[in-house]
Structure 1
């Protein structure tokens, strides 16, 4: 009898041991799964950014960042200058109603904090002091704003970083593939229309009082790099800045462009000062004497193509350019 009792006790102890082992295994699996979901990134400043998993609630401080998010299928919780983005970037319209967090250069820290984001995506255009404040709210992925040495590479690298942070890398690959296809088809269409190696100058302009400033987009700009890939020649003689590849000149500087050059620009009807070419320069003698003006080779491309955007904006640019030059 005693032997039976001891045997029963031993069996019970063994069962409890097995049961205890069984309860610890799922916990270990859960820990391993959580570790596997962690995301480690190196941002545009070389800083390590650690996330517990793909970010779902994201705030963006710059319009190209917002475009990347929207094109990846991520609806941003907070957007800098919603009204401005809506007017200037129609290639990737907002699908939700994000909170306006203030201006691109000065986001409201209180507004961002109230959103309790998983991730804040900024660019190096934002003052370092503002980035430091944002880092107290949530992890900040600070992207390199631009690089005239490789504008297209910088754009796609930023897209890839945001995709990795949000778990949307497959979508990023699709966007890049579509973009390359658009460049190829655009180049083919322009060659067919007789614009192979054509000289093509892109610029924008602004008026402050009676002073008109023209901003040439050199080959170091994003638009300039796209034009190069389309087989067009950039006739600007001015030097662009090291980040955005943008130059500075005035209406007199336009006389230095080749006589057979085409000229194009993008303005926005919500910002009247952005269209100096039909405004402040309309009656300017120098402007009216330019060969491309006299030859009807000035092209205003459609509003809503953000010149510093992502793949969707650049695809929209290609479409609008091909349409303008084929007329």
Structure 2
């Protein structure tokens, strides 16, 4: 019986025949993040995005956002993706967001969200200096979205 760790002659010849095609493909690049397809799973990232002039593609719990936060006002085009603690994962998958923002420690796990789109969380507070955390968060998001000038203007 042959050891299955060896490559068969047929597979080796196929790989050799296809290898010139690899040179024509060029280097792999990460997909660009479309700022028009970013979904916010919590209200902190919504406020940060809107402060930077970026309208989210989708937001969790829009009726309660309107009731409790209301400013900045969300356009009618923003899609409600369900509750902040339990967003509609099927809808999120169908929306094909380019990126997800959430509040750290709130809502679904990062592992669950990573199956849908890349993303990151923002913290409300480090328990010591909430204003410093807020400034850091807007600067981090501004760098990510290439909106540093808008962040400085907002602050």
TM-score greater than 0.5 by the shorter chain: yes
SS in 1 for 2:35: coil
- State the match for 2:69 in structure 1: 89
- State the match for 1:80 in structure 2: 60
- State the match for 2:115 in structure 1: 136
What do residues 100-123 of structure 1 show as CA deviations (whole Å, max 9, x unaligned)?
A: 111111111111111111110011
Alignment partner of 1:173 out of 148, 152, 155 = 152
SS in 2 for 1:145: coil
SS in 2 for 1:56: helix
Superposition deviation, residue 80 in structure 1: 0.6
Superposition deviation, residue 52 in structure 1: 3.3
Q: Distance in 1 between matches of 2:39 and 2:33?
A: 16
Alignment partner of 1:62 out of 26, 39, 42 = 42
Alignment partner of 1:102 out of 63, 82, 88 = 82
Q: Distance in 1 between matches of 2:79 and 2:34?
A: 21
Q: Distance in 1 between matches of 2:67 and 2:31?
A: 33
What do residues 147-190 of structure 1 show as CA deviations (whole Å, max 9, x unaligned)?
A: 220100111111122222222111011111xxxxxxxxxxxxxx
Which segments of 5 or more consecutive residues in structure 2 lack a partner in the other structure?
1-26
- State the match for 1:150 in structure 2: 129
Superposition deviation, residue 95 in structure 1: 2.6
Q: Distance in 1 between matches of 2:154 and 2:62?
A: 24
Superposition deviation, residue 85 in structure 1: 0.8
Give the 3 Å change call, closer, same or farther, for CA 84–62 of structure 1 in structure 2. same
Superposition deviation, residue 54 in structure 1: 6.2
SS in 1 for 2:85: coil
Superposition deviation, residue 83 in structure 1: 0.7
Give the 3 Å change call, closer, same or farther, for CA 58–68 of structure 1 in structure 2. same
Superposition deviation, residue 71 in structure 1: 1.6
Aligned residues: 131
Q: Distance in 2 between matches of 1:123 and 1:110?
A: 20
TM-score scaled to structure 2, two decimals? 0.74
Alignment partner of 1:116 out of 83, 96, 101 = 96
Question: 1 or 2, which has the higher strand percentage?
Answer: 1
Please say which structure displays the higher CA radius of gyration. Answer: 1
The two structures, once aligned, show a CA RMSD in angstroms of: 2.5
Q: Distance in 1 between matches of 2:148 and 2:31?
A: 16
Structure number with greater CO (CA < 8 Å, separation at least 6) is 2
SS in 1 for 2:39: strand
